[in-house]
Amino acid sequence: MTDPALPNGDPVPATALAETPLADRHRALGASFTDFGGWSMPVRYTSDLAEHHAVRTAAGLFDISHMAEFRIDGPDSGAFLDYALAGRLSVLREGKAKYSLLLNDAGGVVDDVIVYRQGEDSYLVISNAGNHAVVAAAFAERSAGFDVAVRDISAEVSLIAVQGPRAAEILADTESVEIPGLDDLGFYAWRNGTFAGDELFVARTGYTGEDGFELLVTNERAGELWDALLRAGGPRGLVPAGLASRDTLRLEAGMPLHGHELSAEILPAQAGLGRVVALDKDDFVGKQSLAAVVAGDAPVLVGLVAEGRRAGRAGYAVLDAEGSPVGEVTSGALSPTLGHPIAMAFVSPRVSALGTELFLDVRGTRIPATVTALPFYRRTT
**Least confidently predicted of 9-13, 120-124, 348-352:** 9-13
Indicate if the pLDDT at residue 242 is higher than 70: yes
pLDDT in tens, 82-92: 999 999 999 99
Compute the mean pLDDT over every residue in the chain, rounded to the nearest whole number: 95
Task: Give the whole-angstrom CA distance, residue 68 versus residue 77.
Answer: 18
Indicate if the pLDDT at residue 6 is higher than 80: no
Encode burial over 170-183: b for 16+ CB neighbours within 10 A, e otherwise: bbeebeebebeebe
Query: In the chain, pLDDT over 90 holds for what percent of residues?
Result: 93
Give the pLDDT band (50/70/90) at residue 381.
Answer: confident
CB 135 within 8 A of CB 111: yes
Q: Are residues 125 and 203 in the same domain?
A: yes
> Residue 93: inside a domain, yes or no?
yes
Q: Are residues 91 and 187 in the same domain?
A: yes
Sign of the torsion angle spanned by Cα atoms 200, 205, 207, 209: positive
Q: Are residues 280 and 218 in the same domain?
A: yes
- What local confidence, expressed as pLDDT, does residue 330 receive? 98
CATH number at residue 352: 2.40.30.110
pLDDT in tens, 147-182: 999 999 999 999 999 999 999 999 999 999 999 999
Sign of the torsion angle spanned by Cα atoms 91, 214, 139, 34: negative
Which are the contacts of 232, defined by CB distance < 8 A and separation ≥ 6?
170, 171, 173, 174, 175, 238
- What local confidence, expressed as pLDDT, does residue 58 receive? 98
Q: Are residues 315 and 326 in the same domain?
A: yes
CB 211 within 8 A of CB 227: no
Q: Are residues 202 and 304 in the same domain?
A: no
> Residue 48: inside a domain, yes or no?
no
Q: Are residues 316 and 355 in the same domain?
A: yes
Residue 23 CA from chain centroid, whole number: 20
Q: Are residues 226 and 308 in the same domain?
A: no
Indicate if the pLDDT at residue 12 is higher than 60: no
Task: Give the whole-angstrom CA distance, residue 217 versus residue 333.
Answer: 33
Mean pLDDT of 254-268: 97
Which are the contacts of 339, defined by CB distance < 8 A and separation ≥ 6?
none
- What local confidence, expressed as pLDDT, does residue 297 receive? 87
> Residue 254: inside a domain, yes or no?
no
> Residue 87: inside a domain, yes or no?
yes
- What local confidence, expressed as pLDDT, does residue 293 receive? 65
> Residue 320: inside a domain, yes or no?
yes
Residues of the domain holding 341: 295-381
Q: Are residues 279 and 339 in the same domain?
A: no
Q: Are residues 215 and 344 in the same domain?
A: no
CATH number at residue 266: 3.30.1360.120
Indicate if the pLDDT at residue 62 is higher than 60: yes
Indicate if the pLDDT at residue 48 is higher than 70: yes
Q: Are residues 66 and 134 in the same domain?
A: yes
Indicate if the pLDDT at residue 303 is higher than 90: yes
pLDDT in tens, 276-298: 999 999 999 999 999 886 678 89
Q: Are residues 268 and 371 in the same domain?
A: no
Q: How many domains does the chain have?
A: 2
- What local confidence, expressed as pLDDT, does residue 7 receive? 36
Mean pLDDT of 197-219: 98
Mean pLDDT of 139-145: 98
> Residue 202: inside a domain, yes or no?
yes
Q: Are residues 213 and 90 in the same domain?
A: yes
Question: Judging by beta carbons within 10 Å of its beta carbon (0-12, 13-18, 19+), is residue 163 exposed, middle or buried?
Answer: buried
> Residue 21: inside a domain, yes or no?
no
> In sequence order, what are the beta bridge partners of 368?
359
> Residue 19: inside a domain, yes or no?
no
